[in-house]
Amino acid sequence: MDVSQYLDIFIDETSEHIQELSDNIMALESEPDNKDTVNEIFRAAHSLKGMAGTMGFKRMQHLTHDMENVFQKVREDTVTVNSELIDILFDCLSAIEEYLDNVKNTSDEGTEDNQVLIDKLNRYLSGGAGAPAAAPAAAPAAGGGAAAAPAAGGDAAGGQEEYKHMKLDEDERLKAQEMIDGGTRVYGATVHIQKECLLKAARAFLVFKAVDDFGDILAYNPSNQDIEDEKFDLTFSILIALEGNADVEAMRSAITAVSEIEKVELGELSKDMLSKDAKPAEAAPAAEAPAAAPAPAAAPAPAAPAPAAPAEKKAAAPAAKKAAGGGKPANKPVTSRTVRVDIEKLDSLMNLVSELIIAKNSLASISSSEDGKYDSQGFHDQIEYLERVTTNLHESVMKVRMVPIESTVNKFPRMIRDLSRKLGKPMDLVMTGEETELDRTVVDQIGDPLQHLLRNSADHGIESPEDRKRAGKPEKGTIFLNAFQEGNNVIIQVGDDGGGINTEAVKNKAIERGVMSEEEAEMATQKEIIDLLFMPSFSMAKKITDISGRGVGLDVVKSNIEALGGDVEVKSTLGQGSTFIVRLPLTLAIIQALMVEVRDEKYAIALASIMTIENIAISDIKYVQAKEVIHLRGLVIPMIRLDELLDLPPKDEEPTSLTVVITKRGDKYAALVVDNLIGQQEIVIKSMGKVLENNKLISGATILGDGEVALILETNALM
Amino acid sequence: MADTGNAVGKVDAAGRHELDGADEEKKQYIVVRIGGERYGMDISLVDNIVRMQKITRVPKAPYHYRGVINLRGEVVPVMSIRRKMGLEDDEFTHATRIIIAKMEEQGLVGMIVDSVNEVIALGESEIDRSVNDSKKSDHMFINGIGKNGDELISIFEINAIVDSIDTF
């Protein structure tokens, strides 16, 4: 059965089941006797197993099957849940995730059997649930992890001699094996098509035709249908049963004679290699150059490439990876990014589109009215109607792009649990507002910064249980993540009830590092000191752990968040904990902006960055260090003449008063002098094209109602 | 849209055109005029040809980028080949056109030319590649000279004209 068309669904649903399992296993740890949770887990594990089996991912199926067995026993109350079991289960989940990643990248599950995990599960089942079993089990587990790496490497080299690990269904495999038994030579071939080739399917067809003269094609990978539809990258593999005494070398030349074929790898397959449990990666000696691979037909060696010994395999895999890396940069994921859309959102879109059609028809009927005179009242009404429809349409489409942050944050409880065990500090993660929606792009990219902040809280924030006890706090620390919408922004607070930021320690560190002089440090406000933490390579960790303290820390968080158009600030009270407040724009593509005019050019300034707009008399301009400033309600604000900044000619005569737009970023201000204000407008942000994108002053462009392009000023760069 | 634009749109997508009897594979070039000279651009790199329209200046952009235009809802940077080659500045007339090239790395980039004349097909044997040997700087943008009958047409190396992204 061809299942490749279900791959997307499989990936989606598997991720969901993994998440569900992860959530429920967490819940199970806190209440081991809750039968509902166990049933949920059982169901999810069962579905996982079923899906993996249907898709032919045997290793994944095997592992999930054994997990299911464990849950079965838990359901029957024959084994008890303890944290050792939970650990094993989480390891299993990680392994399944790894399979899933492989599937995403290569549409194949990879070659890691995870036998260690399976053994552990079974040992647990057979009653070895005690602590002694845990210690020896830990050692092989580490070994298993190490073994996984080279195996993954071998997988990356999948571009080489793919025919050796073609996916065959049962019928194809049996047929091929019968053939071999009957004395027919069965060859595998992997054909590489040139990158520039435009008609891949046609080339593949010609290859098949060429092969037809020498034998029958037993199996295709990807499927014949997919090859016809050009649903393959640059390589495909086929299994050929050679006729009587057909010459393999002649077949090779026939295949390479097809134009735009880069190379073809051919090799005879033995029955072993086709058998069900043969490890596909078994034979992949990297040193073997593709051209040299096939043994001459005259020497009917049992299996041209001898199965490499395990030790060799390990050595060969990294080399193969290198070889493959030279050709193609990275494996492209085989699936596309998707957004799941609530059917209601789609319905409202559909409604709006039908309204749009009605509006268009009404306009058409007005313009074609018989007497040739337009009914201007009706015309106006229709334009207004059209405007309403387009505004709604726009809103609905934006809503389709919005997804709850849940998909990103729901992996955090598990992470905090792991950290808690690793650091030996009991702690809980409390999350609220997971349903808060953000633009898909933002949700995808906010995961890393948030994860970093949480790790930071777990590592630096929460004190050791002893310290907490001494401070009169509950031994168990609390880390929280709250998300909510505020106007056009989404706020995500990440914090803890730990020790807070020790500003004295930061100060000392700053002086020690020479970032500040002692006098400066004395004068600095608490906020200024906390801001030091966001400086590149300023780490406060006393020792470097693998959790944090490498100095690639908060500065990266800050720049990541700023790249998304957001900002981050910190509130901290010594002894009571600290909170990082991340502010993100609801959507990236559309902003409210103030349109201004400088000479005859129009610019947009993001409304969110504007504090006020003022009229300033020339006589009110003051000078500080020969720079123009204005003094406004107690603030001294540097003045920036946009015409100068934008290389425009100065005005012939200075007017008596200036219009200034006061922009704010954090606690920094700037007063931008403009000629004219046009008004507030919702604008769609567009890129200026790659060659001009790096402009520091201009963050993008937008298209105005009359089709003209206006540029968006990057006010942050002016501060 | 511009007449020339339509004519160009109908050209065989692969930019190949077999002439009767000629077994050499020919490439098609759009012939444009800049000043008194005629230049050819490989048609496979050309996405579109549009009439001159309002260009929004981009401050602090390199001198030879005149700004950006609105190409059916997309913002596309437009450069002046004259400025890039150090010729006199452009003079916009009704014949001025913007050739929109589609670059693999840089995306869409517009190039202003004085006029678009025709589309010709040249085989490799009709192009003199020896210009590359010359060290003269204005030859940097040219990778050959095509002979179309009596006429000589300098073939642009578009990759040399459009700056690579990392030069900024």
pLDDT in tens, A646-678: 999 888 887 888 999 999 877 788 999 999 999
Hey, is the C-beta of A30 within 8 angstroms of any chain B C-beta? no
Q: Which residue has the tokens 């109607």?
A: A385
Cross-chain residue pair B56–A711, CB shorter than 8 Å: yes
Where is pLDDT greater, at A179 or A631?
A: A631
Amino acid at A531: D
Is A160-307 in CATH node 3.30.70.1110? Answer: yes
Give, in words, the CATH class of A4-157.
mainly alpha
For the segment B39-77, what is each residue's pLDDT rounded down to a tens digit? 999 999 999 999 999 999 999 888 889 999 998 888 999
CATH code of the domain occupying A406-585: 3.30.565.10
Confidence of residue A127 (pLDDT cuts 50, 70, 90): low
Q: Token digits for B142? A: 């040219």
Name the residue in chain B with its Cα closest to that of A707.
B70
- A178-192, A591-605, A623-637, A699-713: range with lowest mean pLDDT: A178-192
Give the best-scoring range by mean pLDDT among A239-248, A316-325, A435-444, B144-153: B144-153
Residue A85 or residue A298, greater confidence: A85
Q: With an 8 Å Cβ cutoff, are A689 and B76 in contact? A: yes
Element housing A161 (H / E): none
Q: Which long-range contacts (CB under 8 A, 24 or more apart) does B83-88 make?
A: B84/B141, B84/B161, B85/B34, B85/B138, B85/B141, B86/B138, B87/B34, B87/B35, B88/B35
pLDDT above 80: residue A315: no
CATH class of A590-718: mainly beta
* A687 Cβ under 8 Å from any chain B Cβ: yes
Of B65, B70, B73, Cβ closest to residue A708: B70
The per-residue pLDDT of chain A, averaged, comes to 76
Which of A385, A386, A458 has the alpha carbon at shortest distance from A426?
A458
HSE (side-chain half, CA atoms, 13 Å) at B96: 15
Share of residues in chain A with pLDDT > 90 (%): 9
- Tell me whether residue A112 is one of the annotated catalytic residues: no
Q: What is the mean pLDDT of chain B?
A: 80
Token representation of residue A635:
């603030």
Pairing of strands A402-404, A261-268: unpaired
Q: What is the pTM of this model?
A: 0.48
Domain B3-167 has CATH 3.40.50.300: no
Mutate to test the interface with A, among B60, B102, B103, B161 (most CBs of A within 10 A): B60
Give the model's pLDDT for residue A607: 87
Which region among A141-150, A612-621, A698-707 has the lowest average model confidence (pLDDT)?
Answer: A141-150
Distance in Å, alpha carbon of B109 to nearest chain A alpha carbon:
8
Contact predicate A207/A255, CB 8 Å: yes
Q: Is the pLDDT of residue A544 over 60?
A: no
Q: Please determine, for residue A269, whether its predicted confidence score (pLDDT) is greater than 80.
A: no
| Contact status of A707 with chain B (Cβ, < 8 Å) | yes
Alpha helices per DSSP H over A31-57 = 35-55
* Residues on chain B touching A259 (C-beta within 8 angstroms): none
Of A198, A645, A692, Cβ closest to residue B77: A692
Which pLDDT score, from 0 to 100, does residue A1 have? 52
- Give the pLDDT of residue A218: 79
**From A24, A105, A456, A560, the catalytic residue:** A456
Closest by Cα among A48, A159, A135 to A95: A48
Q: Is A231 exposed, middle or buried (0-12, 13-18, 19+ CB in 10 A)?
A: middle
Nearest CB neighbour to B60, from listed A198, A687, A697:
A697
pLDDT digit string (tens) for A271-292? 777 665 444 444 334 333 343 3
Summarised one tens digit per residue, pLDDT across range A468-526 is: 888 888 888 899 999 988 766 788 999 888 888 888 888 887 788 777 788 877 887 77
Residues contacting residue B87 through CB under 8 Å, at least 6 positions apart:
B34, B35
Instruction: Check CB contact of A690 with chain B, cutoff 8 Å.
Output: yes
- A20, A68, A98, A463: the catalytic one is A68
Does the pLDDT at position B17 exceed 50?
Answer: no
Instruction: Answer whether B75 sits within 8 Å of A701, measured CB to CB.
Output: yes
Residue B78 — very low, low, confident or very high, per pLDDT cuts 50/70/90?
Answer: very high
Q: What would the mean pLDDT of A445-464 be, rounded to a whole number? A: 86
DSSP assigned state of A686: B
pLDDT-wise least confident of A285-294, A585-594, B26-35, B74-83:
A285-294
Partners of A706 on chain B (C-beta within 8 Å) are none
Task: Inform me whether the pLDDT recorded for A33 exceeds 90.
Answer: no
pLDDT confidence of A354, banded at 50, 70, 90? very high
The pLDDT > 70 percentage for chain A reads 80
| Distance (Å, whole) CA A364 – CA A378 | 12
Tell me the domain boundaries of chain B.
3-167
> Omega of the bond prior to A140 within 30 degrees of 0, cis?
no
Q: Looking at residue A309, what is its pLDDT? A: 39
For residues A52 and A75, what is the distance between their CA atoms, to the nearest angstrom?
23
Q: Does residue A709 have a pLDDT over 90?
A: yes
How does pLDDT run across A594-642, given as a tens digit for each residue?
Answer: 999 998 899 999 888 899 999 999 888 999 888 999 998 888 999 999 9
Task: Give the confidence band of A256 by pLDDT, cuts at 50, 70, 90.
Answer: confident
Say whether B57 and A601 touch across the interface (CB within 8 A): yes
Find, among A706, A694, A703, A704, the residue nearest to A714 by Cα: A694
Q: Does the distance separating the beta carbons of B109 and A691 come in below 8 Å?
A: yes
Q: What mean pLDDT comes out for the span A75-86?
A: 80
Asked if B15 is an interface residue toward chain A (Cβ–Cβ < 8 A), one would say no
Other Cβ atoms less than 10 A from the Cβ of A4: the count is: 18
Confidence of residue A298 (pLDDT cuts 50, 70, 90): very low
pLDDT tens-digit map of A407-418: 888 888 888 888
Q: Residue B8 above 60 pLDDT?
A: no
Integer Cα distance of B161 and B159 in angstroms: 5
